Amino acid sequence: MIIQEIVKGTLIEEVVSKVMAGQRISVEEGILLYEKADLSVLGFLANEIRIRKNGDYVYFNRNLHIEPTNQCVYTCKFCSYYRKKGEEGWEFSREEILQQVSDMGDQITEVHIVGGVHPKWDVHYYGSLFQQIKAIRPDVHIKAFTAVEISYICKRANMTLKEGLAALKNYGLDSIPGGGAEIFDEEVRPKICPHKDTAEEWLQLHEIAHRLGIPSNATILYGHIESIANRIDHLNRLRELQDRSAGFNVFIPLKYKKANNEMSYLGEVSVIEDIKMYAMSRIFLDNFNHIKAYWPMIGKDIAQLLLSFGVDDFDGTINDSTKIYSLAGAEDQSPSMNTEQMVNMIKAVGRQAVERDSVYNILKIY
């Protein structure tokens, strides 16, 4: 094949052959490929895997993001979102949150809830909120809380992780987003989020959720002080957990954005580095079915470009309901698309737009 002729005689020839044969590559091989392969080679491999797994389908859903508060007990150095007690921020009342859901009517199939780790709210506070949301929209999927949020609200309620997750599921939690993973390396993680749960705690919580029948997503925060080896190690830990529990729906690389946080001096990595991160994610995570480009963070144009580098999911329509990346200087300061705009963005690059539910059941093919 052409790609194998291109790499013949190079250090990566054997690794490329394994990928093309559908074989799993090791951590060492992943690092080698990341460091030595041309962008064209990574793109070719990632695209081949995307086609095998998803054909020309590009998935999206109709979702509403609710961020109840930006008060937070943690002070992560990369975060542009959190506010300490007494600082200007917001704290939505329950009535305000329910009004947001009610206002959307049947325009959405998912309510996505994440925010700061509020010092006083616990499992039961959020659980009763879930019940009220389901009273308005019994069929809506509730995807809520990063592992760090869940860990804290379980402690507030004097519950173990298993008890807290089971209670949240009974209250109406359907799945968990992937935030809070940041970077797993034990030396780098304390430097960017010193007080947050450890990597092992993040992984343990997701594994417990999977065992309880609660699917989740997974992420990485890249482009700060981590190395390529740290990135591949992060992917490998996710791959190992997916082998054990098979509970992850999708992987989402999240780019560090520099505005309004303590790490702004670092700047941001290039678009080329973005592309390589997405491509390597698709190549290395052989047991993940989907790779998502979160367009409010990466930008619509780059998201379209990434469809040629392993991406098959665009998240959702969002309706200008998230501030997490806007405050960090994201490309789209008012992230909102209707279904027609989303479909057109996908079709503009020759792909098949597919509306999905939150766990990738197909609802409509455009």
d(CA 249, CA 262): 32
Q: Are 197 and 147 in contact (CB under 8 A)?
A: yes
Q: Lowest-pLDDT range, 31-35, 65-69, 83-87, 293-297? A: 83-87
CATH class as words, domain 59-365: alpha beta
CB within 8 Å of 105: residues ≥ 6 apart: none
Tens-place pLDDT, residues 251-292: 999 999 887 788 898 999 999 999 999 999 999 999 999 999
Mean predicted confidence (pLDDT) in 69-89: 70
Mean predicted confidence (pLDDT) in 288-305: 94
Single out the residue of 248, 308, 317 nearest to residue 60, CA to CA. 317
pLDDT at 335: 61
Mean predicted confidence (pLDDT) in 164-176: 98
Q: The pTM is what?
A: 0.92
CB within 8 Å of 263: residues ≥ 6 apart: 77, 78, 192, 224, 225, 256
CB within 8 Å of 15: residues ≥ 6 apart: 25, 29, 32, 33
Q: Place 25 in a pLDDT band, splitting at 50, 70 and 90.
A: very high
pLDDT at 32: 98
d(CA 310, CA 43): 7
Burial grade of 359 (CB within 10 A; 0-12, 13-18, 19 or more):
middle
Q: Is the pLDDT of residue 323 over 50?
A: no
Could you state, in order of their start, the residue ranges of all structural domains in the chain?
Answer: 59-365
d(CA 294, CA 67): 17
